[in-house]
Structure 1
């Protein structure tokens, strides 16, 4: 089994537990993120479930005496940074991007980890808690996503040099930060009608090419950083076998699940939706001239071999504003208080697992159990939903699903919700709907900006010491 999944596993577990998502894939162009957004050095395609971040092919040797930084009451070791540095190098290599200077990359990773520790400490000091059950459920779902038993997953994590308790603490820390962001940032944001007007007016002034949103899927066969001729030959044979079946008319998603060795394989190879200028140049060149539904030839990047599918291209030839609608079902359990919510989460998670195994129908369970009277009568059916029409946490959960998939239980004030994405379609927006989508994009942009300010404020208040190189 490939060992390229630890960072992705950490971020996926956090996303499942916190319900966070970006503003991409909503059908309208978004501007560049604030300074607190993901660094271009480490940016990856936005995926439904897990980013394609990689682990090193060889793990660093621990230096137990090396201290990289002291943050409040916690210590960051040189080994912590070395693990992340190797993972980041592998990620950049897989993308085919230019490797930045090592010192620059290391400094960025150290600063990111300092921010994470400071935020997690601040969250706990201000009353935010994460139970062991929450952490365990998030990790269990990650293991299932990689088709591993909990014990196999644990072995994979520890084989990369990270202790199991350290990994669990990392997941807990990131869930704490997600909850802090929701409580102290997202829930307080308001968007005025004038801001929506200004956003739409600015959209109209942009050239259409700048508005192009591209959705890609891939079949990916990796290569190590210095492959032997035999390794290249084996990888090429595997990708060529997949291409031959594609040319026979076989389903791309099924072949991705069978042949691809990237973390997105379980999602049919789906890499998500991004503006054209945020995809690697190699990918854009490979799909040039394709129409939606067509596939590229085999291309080779420093990471390995790829076959790309242009799933959708939106904006360049679409003068009318459009967005992706989602057909959604829900199951709602009312719950107030920690114990009631924990019980509801466990019950809905059991339903999710049963639906995924084909043991029950989501609609039948909605009719039987859902406490939203209106939707329960219709098997939980909410109809076709546009971005911004549901609470942000539910929108975020939908953004990570492919048709047929079921979300993790989502905790909202007074209730816990389970969603099923039935289908998606492109929808021409009426003026009122266009405003709703625009408002949702502005909410997410403002949330990112305000969270950046919170990070700076917390960092300024936190005791941080970085030993000099010669100390």
Structure 2
């Protein structure tokens, strides 16, 4: 089995465990959202500090066990950075992007890992925990997505040179950071009516920009880094065969599943949604002039041959005519503060763990315990909710969930709330509903900005030592 299937495994496990805040809240069908903490050099629509997204072809040989940095109580070794450097180089090559100078890339990776360790330590010091069961469930869901047993998935990870304990620790750190972001950033944001008015007025006047949201799908036939003439010929023949069938009117998603050899093939070739300036320039040039639903000619990148489909294009942060509705359940416990609030949080956290383990049904607990009389009678069901229709703290929590997941306990005036996201669906917006979507967009913008500030603050207060090259 090709090791390309593992690209994004850390990302997927984290998204399953703590949800995603990015384009989902905008009604865009994509995976984990952009992080405000990512640097421009390595910015991808992923999570904060860069995990091992593209595992290396061969295990890098550590030149030493030297220290790259000390972060609080933890050490980053030169080997840690070497492993991530190989992975980042592979990812950049496969995206067809220009390779930055090695020293610059290394510095970016080191700084991102420092931020990640600092945030994870801060989260733990402030009472946020992640159980081994949570990590194991997240990984098991990823393995199931690849139609592998957990043991088979573990073998694939370790065969690519990444120790299993290292991989699990990476996932645990990402979940910690996701929960920290939800508790200390998202739950505290408020959006005023005036801010919504100003946003809608400004968007009505704003032309499309480099931040235009673009959704692409691809059929991808890879090439090795130094292909022979025969390998190039075989790959070109395969991609040309796919193009010929597309021009006969065949379904793109079905042909992607048949011909594409990228990890997204099983999803019909869907690459998700990104701002235009986060796609490789080669891709943007290839789709220039296309309308949604149209396909490009065959293009060649350093990674191989591609056929691109422009799935959708939407103006930068402009409320769409459709949005994703969320079917939501809640459990509400009244608590005025102090010990009552602490007790409610503890009780709801216990319910969350029990639901995650499959020991209880959320709806049954809602009927039994919830103190919101109206929703309790319906098993906590709130029906289908648009972004912006709930209080900001609840909206932010929903943005970070995938269907079936349960939020952390959320503290509101006079009560503590637990949410379960049941499902999502696309919904045509009435004009009045655009305000709710606009509010949610502003919520996410503020969350990204405030999370950046939290990263800077935590980093400034964390002991960090980076040994000089000659020390």
TM-score by length of 2: 0.77
Residues 191 and 246 (structure 1 numbering): CA distance in 2 closer, same or farther, change over 3 Å?
Answer: same
Counterpart CA distance in 2 for 1:49 and 1:237 is: 39
Unaligned runs of 5+ in 1: none
SS at match of 2:17: helix
More off after superposition, 177-186 vs 104-113: 177-186
CA contact (8 A) 1:48 1:272 kept: no
- Residues 169-208 of structure 1 show CA distances to partners (whole Å, capped at 9, x for unaligned) of 1111111111111111111111122222222222122114
More off after superposition, 234-243 vs 445-454: 234-243
- Residues 120-147 of structure 1 show CA distances to partners (whole Å, capped at 9, x for unaligned) of 1111111111111101001111112222
Counterpart CA distance in 2 for 1:148 and 1:202 is: 48
CA contact (8 A) 2:19 2:399 kept: no
More off after superposition, 51-60 vs 375-384: 375-384
Aligned residues: 471
Residues 351 and 260 (structure 1 numbering): CA distance in 2 closer, same or farther, change over 3 Å?
Answer: farther
- Tell me how far 1:104 sits from its aligned partner: 0.9
Counterpart CA distance in 1 for 2:344 and 2:156 is: 31
- Tell me how far 1:298 sits from its aligned partner: 1.9
More off after superposition, 441-450 vs 196-205: 196-205
- Tell me how far 1:466 sits from its aligned partner: 0.9
Counterpart CA distance in 2 for 1:359 and 1:299 is: 51
Counterpart CA distance in 2 for 1:249 and 1:406 is: 42
CA contact (8 A) 2:10 2:53 kept: no
- Tell me how far 1:323 sits from its aligned partner: 4.1
More off after superposition, 314-323 vs 266-275: 314-323
SS at match of 1:331: strand
Residues 121 and 275 (structure 1 numbering): CA distance in 2 closer, same or farther, change over 3 Å?
Answer: closer
- Tell me how far 1:107 sits from its aligned partner: 0.5
More off after superposition, 324-333 vs 301-310: 324-333
Residues 290 and 329 (structure 1 numbering): CA distance in 2 closer, same or farther, change over 3 Å?
Answer: farther
Counterpart CA distance in 2 for 1:408 and 1:16 is: 14
SS at match of 2:419: strand
- Residues 220-242 of structure 1 show CA distances to partners (whole Å, capped at 9, x for unaligned) of 22222222233323333333333
Which residues in structure 2 correspond to 1:129-208 (within 5 Å)? Answer: 129-208=129-208
More off after superposition, 153-162 vs 381-390: 381-390
Residues 319 and 392 (structure 1 numbering): CA distance in 2 closer, same or farther, change over 3 Å?
Answer: closer
- Tell me how far 1:24 sits from its aligned partner: 6.7
- Residues 370-425 of structure 1 show CA distances to partners (whole Å, capped at 9, x for unaligned) of 99998999999977653334678997898799999999999999999999999988
More off after superposition, 321-330 vs 103-112: 321-330
- Tell me how far 1:355 sits from its aligned partner: 17
- Tell me how far 1:359 sits from its aligned partner: 19
- Tell me how far 1:364 sits from its aligned partner: 15
- Tell me how far 1:63 sits from its aligned partner: 3.4
Residues 404 and 166 (structure 1 numbering): CA distance in 2 closer, same or farther, change over 3 Å?
Answer: closer
More off after superposition, 305-314 vs 114-123: 305-314
Unaligned runs of 5+ in 2: none
More off after superposition, 242-251 vs 263-272: 242-251
SS at match of 2:195: helix
More off after superposition, 59-68 vs 371-380: 371-380
Counterpart CA distance in 2 for 1:470 and 1:167 is: 31
CA contact (8 A) 2:33 2:45 kept: no
- Residues 73-120 of structure 1 show CA distances to partners (whole Å, capped at 9, x for unaligned) of 211111110111111111111222221111111001001111111111
Residues 13 and 347 (structure 1 numbering): CA distance in 2 closer, same or farther, change over 3 Å?
Answer: farther
Counterpart CA distance in 1 for 2:21 and 2:39 is: 16
Residues 413 and 51 (structure 1 numbering): CA distance in 2 closer, same or farther, change over 3 Å?
Answer: farther
Q: CA RMSD in A?
A: 5.9
- Tell me how far 1:262 sits from its aligned partner: 2.4
CA contact (8 A) 1:293 1:310 kept: yes
Counterpart CA distance in 1 for 2:69 and 2:49 is: 32
CA contact (8 A) 1:7 1:87 kept: no
